[in-house]
Amino acid sequence: MHSGLKAFLGGINTQAPLGNPKAILELGAGSGVWAFEMAQQFPEAQVTAVDISPVNETHKPANCKFQQVNLTKDWPFEPESFDVVHMRFLLVHMPNWPELAAKAASAVKPGGYLLLEDIDHHIYRENGPLPDEVSKFYDIYHSHMGKTNVDPDTGVKLKTFLDESKLFEEVQCLEFHAPMVPFKEDAKLNKVGEVMRISLTRAYASLHLRMGESGMTPEIIKGYADKLHDPNHWLYMPIFFTWARKHEKKAEA
């Protein structure tokens, strides 16, 4: 999904004016591609990529290191130790996401940036009601999220979280309604749609193993995936890119 979002952002990894950071932390690094690219963009920075699963370090730049951490249990980072802290599509999977977001905020140095990017699971269709297969899939998905104290509306709440924390200034939010299938005339949006379709199909293929008790079955997943391959259904998923600069410490009189 990284390549599609980067295409939407005009070939950059963030719209935040980061300056020349020396310490960058990515939480929920996944494949590590965002962290690797940031390490290449800022060769004088030390980039730390964190995930619960190992990443392929074959193409890892020398100034990037990986830490395997279960963020629901451990927090091995000192306060105010990073110029940039980044999370993408992580909080929407975490129980009590504001707790982790607050920890991430605490790790940002004064004058540094917190980048929070996440989705809103309320999918919609531009050219009609949602197909029954898609509605059924997300009804079960949302039901399971509720049972595990996970918030499907995380993305839309990020800016409010940053504003209410009182830790940040210059709080910005870019709301992007991402096509989930490649039906647009715009080549850039079609790239996003193709990447979204591939990513969601892969990510949800084995969802019945985690959500079987909530009613998820392979057949329901297949019905959902089939609709993602139907260009007649113009489906969208809201994505929220938020960033904010932490207040500088006031000099003591």
Half-sphere exposure of 28 (CA within 13 A, CB side): 19
pLDDT confidence of 251, banded at 50, 70, 90? low
Q: What is the pLDDT of residue 250?
A: 67
Please report the domains of the chain, with CATH numbers, ordered by start residue.
2-246 (3.40.50.150)
- The pTM score is 0.93
DSSP type of residue 128: S
Q: What is the mean pLDDT of residues 222-243?
A: 93
pLDDT above 90 coverage of the chain, percent: 80
Q: What is the pLDDT of residue 59?
A: 85
pLDDT confidence of 183, banded at 50, 70, 90? confident
pLDDT confidence of 185, banded at 50, 70, 90? confident
Choose the most confident range, by mean pLDDT, from 120-129, 135-144, 189-198: 135-144
Average pLDDT for the chain: 93
Q: What is the pLDDT of residue 231?
A: 84
Q: 4-58: per-residue pLDDT in tens?
A: 888 888 899 999 999 999 999 999 999 999 999 999 999 999 999 999 999 888 8
**111 Rama sector, left if φ>0, alpha if ψ -120 to 50, beta otherwise:** left
Checking if the pLDDT of 96 tops 60, the result is yes
- Nearest CA-CA partner of 97 in 168, 25, 149: 149
pLDDT above 70 coverage of the chain, percent: 98
pLDDT confidence of 200, banded at 50, 70, 90? very high
Amino acid at 83: D
Q: What is the mean pLDDT of residues 150-158?
A: 95
Checking if the pLDDT of 253 tops 60, the result is no
Q: DSSP H helical segments within 76-166, as ranges?
A: 97-106, 132-147, 154-165
- Nearest CA-CA partner of 108 in 28, 158, 170, 168: 168
Q: Distances in Å between the alpha carbon of 152 and those of 51, 174, 212, 234?
A: 21, 18, 18, 21
